[in-house]
Amino acid sequence: MKRLAILALAAALPLAAHAAGKTELTWYGHAAFVLKTPGGTVLAIDPWLSNPTSPDKEAAGKLEKVDFIIVTHAHADHVGDAVAIAKRTGAKLVGGFDLANALIQEGYPKEQATAMTSGNIGGTIALNDEVSVTIVPASHSSGIRKDGAPVSYGGNPTGALIHVKGGPTVYHTGDTDVTSDMKLVGDRWRIDYMLACIGGHFTMDPQGAATAAQLTRAKTVIPMHYGTFPLLKGTPDALEKAIKTARVNAKVAAMKIGETRTL
Ligand SMILES: [Zn+2]
């Protein structure tokens, strides 16, 4: 029995070594994050790196390697610097199929925004052997409007679950209210980190985000989409209070803008 146990342990070692690798998350303010996996895959999410709270408005030009860009919906505060980053790094677009077509009209290189990496709600897209992304619903809107032009179609708004093999599953909610769909998201996947909008006005507020944490059973909530403009009034403190009051079993782990955290 002992020998068998040792053999089993030896077989598990390569997996353990992989799991010990680090997944790193950097927040650039608003809904913009960059995630680096142990295997070296770099994903930018809603990369408005030049947002008003960003300490470095030129950050988009400084990213050396980006493999994929996840865009949750077509609004300018989420598309952000995606086109410029894609042109410079060759990053492929991950998101809704209609959004991909809309962003090609906005200048995203079309060979980097194909159906290989764009999908639709309910789909899980394997980006490589280590990372896959599931597109989930968000309750919001997604029109493109530029310089007073009429609104053009940008596909459905979405959230994204990023699954790192041997690492965390990270749920970026996109812009949304709390919805009963979130319970299904939590039933189907283990959510290690929920990057949750809390600003209110255009999205759920801290109270809503606390309910979202309850529904998804997320272990840790990282608040986002607040403080960028005066209208986005939600705060991490208010989220913390709402989570305590509702006795939700989730940790609030607010990040500083520009901070990199190991997940
Ligand atoms: Zn937004």
Q: What is the pLDDT of residue 148?
A: 80
Contacting residues for 7 by C-beta, under 8 A, at least 6 apart:
none
- Tell how far the Cα of 74 is from the centroid of ligand 1, in angstroms: 9
Tell me the pLDDT tens digit for each residue of 102-133: 999 999 999 999 999 999 999 999 999 999 99
Q: The tokens 């990270």 sit on which residue?
A: 170
Burial class (CB in 10 A: 0-12, 13-18, 19+), 165: middle
Q: How far is the CA of 78 from the centre of ligand 1 (A)?
A: 6
Average pLDDT, the chain: 93
Report d(CA 156, CA 95) in Å as an integer.
Answer: 10
Give the largest Cα separation in the chain, rounded: 73
146 has a pLDDT exceeding 50: yes
Distance 30 CA to ligand 1 centre (A): 8
Reported as a pLDDT band with limits 50, 70 and 90, residue 206 is very high
- Asked whether the whole model's pTM tops 0.85, one would answer yes
**What is the mean pLDDT of the segment spanning 135-147?**
93
12 pLDDT higher than 70: no
Ligand 1 ion: residues within 5 Å (CB) = 77, 175
Instruction: Kindly report, residue by residue over 14-69, the tens digit of the pLDDT.
Output: 444 444 579 999 999 999 999 999 999 999 999 999 999 998 889 999 999 999 99
Whether the pLDDT of residue 10 is over 60: the answer is no
List, in order, residues 6 or more apart from 196 with CB less than 8 Å away: 173, 204, 209, 212, 213, 218, 221, 222, 223, 224, 239
d(CA 49, ligand 1 centre) in Å:
13
Q: Which residue has the higher pLDDT, 145 or 198?
A: 198
Say how many Å lie between the CA of residue 218 and the centre of ligand 1. 21
The percent of residues above 90 in pLDDT, for the chain, comes to 88
SS3 state at 210: helix
Note the pLDDT tens digit of each residue in 151-170. 899 999 999 999 999 999 99
